Amino acid sequence: MGERQTCVKLSEEKLIPKADILSLLRTYNCYHEGKNFQLRTREEDGELILEGLLNIYWGLRRPIRLQMYDDNERFRLNRLSVAKQVSAESNNNLLDRETEPAGADVSVGEEEDSPQLLRTRSDASFMQVQRRSKTHTARDLQRLRTHRFSINGHFYNHKTSVFTPAYGSVTNVRVNSSMTTGQVLNLLLHKFRVENKYEEFVLYMVHESGERTRLRDGEYPLVARVLYGPCEKISKIFIMEADLGEEVTYDVAQYIKFEIPVLDSFVEKLKEEEEREINKLTKKFSALRSMILHQLEGRAHTSDRV
C-alpha cells in the first residue's frame, strides 16, 4: 500500500516515484501556463491522479465509419441544435469560420464546397457526377450542403458516414492518468461517433527524429505525455491503424530522413565492411586449422616412433 502511495503507474508493471512525476508535472504546467492544457492533480485512495486535455494527432490511412445516429438521438440539422452540440473543449484548431456556443463534444454544421470533401468516397462520386454535368438545380445544391457535416474542421457525408481525418491534424480528449491506452482510444472514437472498434487502432509516440514507440494496452497515455515532455515539436501522440503502424527504433530513425542515393551508399559501405570481416575470419580460420593439423601430425609422428 505504501508503494502505491509514493509511486505513479507508468504501466501495469512499471512505476515512477511520485516526487519525480510531480517535478515533471511542474515543468509541463509551466510550459502550458495560461492555457487550457495545464493538468490538475487530485488524490484518490492514496494515489495521485493527473487529469486534463490530451492532444492526439490523426495518422490514419484508411477511412473510418461514422455512426448515422448516436446512442440517444439523431443528428440534428438546424442551427439551434448545432449550437447545443459544439465542442466545449478549448482546442487550438479553428473548428469553423464562425464561432458557435459551447456544448457537446462534436460540432455538426453545414459547410460550403471545399476540396477537403474529396477525401470521402461519397463526395468523390459527387464530383464525378459534377464533371459530367456542370449545371445543378438549387434543390440539388441544397441537398448536397445538407448532407455535409464538419467534425472539428473535417468534412464527411452523413448519408454514407465515410470519413478520413486530415493526416497530422490534431484533436484532444479529456483524460486522467488512470486511463489505459485502450480506454483513451475508446473515448476518442466515442467522441467522434466512430463505429470501428478500438482494437483496430493503436497509439504511437512519434518523435521528431522519426523514432516511433507504441503505447501498449497497459500503459497510461497521459503519464507518457508528461514523461516525454510538453513540447509537441519533439514528440506527438498519433492514432494509427493497428495493422499499418509499426515501431521505429532510434537507430533506424537516424536513416529515415536520408535520400535513397545516400542510403544506397551506406549499404555499399556496409557490404564492403562485411566482405572485409568475412575475409578476416576466413584467414583466421585457415591459420587455426593449419596450426591444429600441424599439431596432430606432430603427435602422430611421435606415436609412430614409440
State how far the alpha carbon of 220 is from the alpha carbons of 97, 154, 156, 289, in Å.
35, 27, 31, 57
Q: Examine residue 65 and state whether it is found in any structural domain, yes or no.
A: no
213 with 90, same domain: the answer is no
The parent domain of residue 230 ranges over 2-60+167-255
Say if 221 falls within a structural domain. Answer: yes
Q: Are residues 159 and 171 in the same domain?
A: no
Q: Is the pTM of this model over 0.75?
A: no
Residue 78 sits in the same domain as residue 159? yes
Does a structural domain hold residue 67? no
- Render 102-167 in DSSP notation, one character per residue: --SS---------GGGGGSHHHHHHHHHHHH-----HHHHHHHHHHEEEETTEEEETTTTEE-PPT
Please tell me the distance from the alpha carbon of residue 163 to that of residue 56, in angstroms, as a whole number.
17
Would you state the pLDDT for residue 32?
93
Q: What is the pLDDT of residues 216-270, one digit of tens each?
A: 998 999 999 999 999 999 999 999 999 987 888 877 887 777 888 988 898 999 9
Give me the number of domains the chain comprises. Answer: 3
Give the neighbor-by-neighbor strand order of the sheet with 64-65. Answer: 64-65, 162-163, 154-157, 148-151
Residue 191 and residue 134 share a domain? no
Asked whether residue 178 is domain-assigned, the answer is yes
In Å, how far are 5, 42, 172, 174, 177 from 51, measured between CA atoms? 17, 8, 13, 7, 6
Please give the pLDDT value at position 290: 92
- Whole-number pLDDT of residue 107: 37
Do residues 209 and 263 share a domain?
Answer: no
Residue 113 lies in a domain: yes
Do 178 and 299 share a domain, yes or no?
no
